[in-house]
A and B are shown apart, each in its own frame.
Chain A
Amino acid sequence: MNIKHHLDEASLLSYAAGSMSQSMALVAACHLSMCPQCQERAQKSEAIGGVLLDSLAPAALNENSLDQVMAMLDYEPSVDIAVPKRISSKRAGADQTDLPFPLGEYIDGSLDSIAWKRIVPGVYCYDLPCKSERGGVSRLLRIAPGKSMLPHSHDGNELTLILRGSFSDEIGRFTVGDIADLDSEIEHQPLVDSDEDCICLIATDAPLRFSTLLGKIVQPMTGF
């Protein structure tokens, strides 16, 4: 995988701080799971968190805090619920499918077993049950070769990660693993230029701002 488009520094820091919305953090984590370069940058941003933690004035603990925690130590949960599923989805992701493992929390199986919903001919979507407080959503889009989206700009932050196929726009060509990390400054018109359908994972900050790929394709035809 030759990744050319990476996460913006401001996005990485927001992810590391835990201040990125849930829906955007999912897309960021998926890119990170595919991109050793950004992983290294993320670790540096997380180190800022470590320093800031260490520089906080201590808060008063309950009187018996330590005793309570010591009592917890001998209790080993027999199953760490999060682990088996992640490991299995990660293995599946690495060996058989092109599903980044953070998506394994939300999708069973592979990109081929998704129950796509057709929006217009050649355009399908699948909403992930990953919701942000302020209504931002993560969504998978599947777009047929040769389809072009109407030019659009963004009101807020938008992340688009390519999982299969490719598209080109004014910024460049995006292939598997590339992430388009865009803010409202940029207007673009992506065109799917791969032989196969292009599948991408897309997220925005807030619902009203999701006026992007899907919104603009769909609006003239379905009116939502």
Chain B
Amino acid sequence: MENKPPGDDVENIVPLAQQNTSQDWSDVLAELAETKDKTLFVELFKHFAPKVKAYIIRLGLIESSAEELMQETMAAVWRKSHLYNRSKAAASTWIFTLARNLSIDLMRKQKYPEYSLDEWHEEADDNDDPCVDHVLSSRMGLSVNKLPEEQAQVIYMSFYEGRSHSDIANRLGIPLGSVKSRIRLASDKLRSMWRDGV
């Protein structure tokens, strides 16, 4: 993971033109889970596959590995769709975690420790607002762009480059504690923006 581009991640991020599509894609994935209809899968593929590949390339893998891993991720979307629970996560979130785990498994040659597997499916948590994640997802795209630059930067470096806190500290030449407090601030801000409906 040493051959990744340096920390400026703001290029290649397109403004979210259609803010309400996140909910729709979750519907499509939930329907796929029930029907196993291949035409739905093709729709999901066309929307997500190029983004999944872009994500994997950002993590530092070469194009050919990224293509292969993207294909594995999309096949996993199909294979595991019965585990998808749209009250727990937006489609983009669920697919992100699949891509994240497969990328890490390949790069580290160890399984990324997961805290739940089939629980997405079996675990009932009645107290939760089932729409929380949808709301979060559809609104937060705007919010990340609204963060102060130094906060957005640590979020991008964490998610898009897979950099640990100490790695970010070294890159930016700031103390570890500052990295963590920037991340905490960013996270707080995103949550309150989302609560207040951006």
Residues of A at under 8 Å CB distance from B? 8-10, 12-14, 17-22, 25-26, 28-30, 32-33, 36, 39-40, 42-62, 65-66, 68-70, 72-73, 76-77, 80, 82-83, 86-87, 90, 102, 105, 130-131, 133, 156-157, 183-185, 205-206
B12 nearest in chain A by CB position: A57
Residues of A within 8 A of B166 (CB): 156-157, 205-206
A39 and B94 contact, Cβ closer than 8 Å, known pairs A17-B162, A56-B13? no
Complex CA–CA separation, A153 to B96 (angstroms):
36
B65 at the interface (CB under 8 A from A): no
Residues of A within 8 A of B75 (CB): 69, 72-73
Residues of B within 8 A of A102 (CB): 113-115
Complex CA–CA separation, A158 to B166 (angstroms):
12
> Is B125 in contact with A183, judged by CB distance below 8 angstroms?
no
Complex CA–CA separation, A102 to B179 (angstroms):
28
Chain A min CB distance to B72 (Å): 8
Chain A min CB distance to B151 (Å): 11
> Is B165 in contact with A56, judged by CB distance below 8 angstroms?
no
Complex CA–CA separation, A223 to B67 (angstroms):
49
B30 at the interface (CB under 8 A from A): no
Complex CA–CA separation, A139 to B108 (angstroms):
19
Residues of A within 8 A of B171 (CB): none
> Is B97 in contact with A54, judged by CB distance below 8 angstroms?
no
Per the CB 8 Å criterion, the residue count for chain B at the interface is 88
B192 at the interface (CB under 8 A from A): no
> Is B38 in contact with A43, judged by CB distance below 8 angstroms?
no
A47 and B133 contact, Cβ closer than 8 Å, known pairs A9-B188, A20-B164, A102-B114? yes
Complex CA–CA separation, A72 to B144 (angstroms):
35
Of B16, B95, B110, B165, the residue contacting A157 (CB under 8 A) is B165
A80 nearest in chain B by CB position: B79
Of B38, B92, B176, the residue contacting A70 (CB under 8 A) is B38
> Is A66 in contact with B42, judged by CB distance below 8 angstroms?
yes
Of A43, A53, A60, A83, the residue contacting B51 (CB under 8 A) is A53
> Is A49 in contact with B97, judged by CB distance below 8 angstroms?
yes
Chain A min CB distance to B191 (Å): 7
Taken residue by residue from 184 to 197, chain B's Cβ proximity to chain A (1 for < 8 Å, 0 otherwise) reads as 10011011000000
Complex CA–CA separation, A102 to B48 (angstroms):
29
Taken residue by residue from 42 to 80, chain B's Cβ proximity to chain A (1 for < 8 Å, 0 otherwise) reads as 100110111111110110000000110011001100110
A27 nearest in chain B by CB position: B113
Complex CA–CA separation, A72 to B78 (angstroms):
10
Taken residue by residue from 134 to 175, chain B's Cβ proximity to chain A (1 for < 8 Å, 0 otherwise) reads as 001100110010000000000111111111111100000000
Residues of A within 8 A of B144 (CB): 48, 51-52, 55
Can you list 25 A-B pairs, Cβ within 8 angstroms, ordered by A?
A: A9-B188, A10-B181, A13-B155, A14-B183, A17-B159, A19-B159, A25-B112, A43-B133, A47-B90, A47-B137, A48-B144, A49-B93, A50-B90, A51-B136, A51-B144, A53-B48, A53-B96, A54-B22, A59-B54, A60-B50, A62-B67, A65-B49, A133-B1, A157-B165, A157-B166
Complex CA–CA separation, A105 to B96 (angstroms):
23
A129 nearest in chain B by CB position: B110
Complex CA–CA separation, A156 to B155 (angstroms):
20
Residues of A within 8 A of B86 (CB): none
Complex CA–CA separation, A34 to B61 (angstroms):
33
> Is B158 in contact with A17, judged by CB distance below 8 angstroms?
yes
Of B55, B71, B101, the residue contacting A65 (CB under 8 A) is B71
Chain B min CB distance to A62 (Å): 5
Residues of B within 8 A of A48 (CB): 140, 144, 155, 159, 187, 190
Residues of A within 8 A of B5 (CB): none
B40 at the interface (CB under 8 A from A): no
Residues of A within 8 A of B42 (CB): 66, 70
Residues of A within 8 A of B113 (CB): 22, 25-26, 28-30, 102, 105, 130
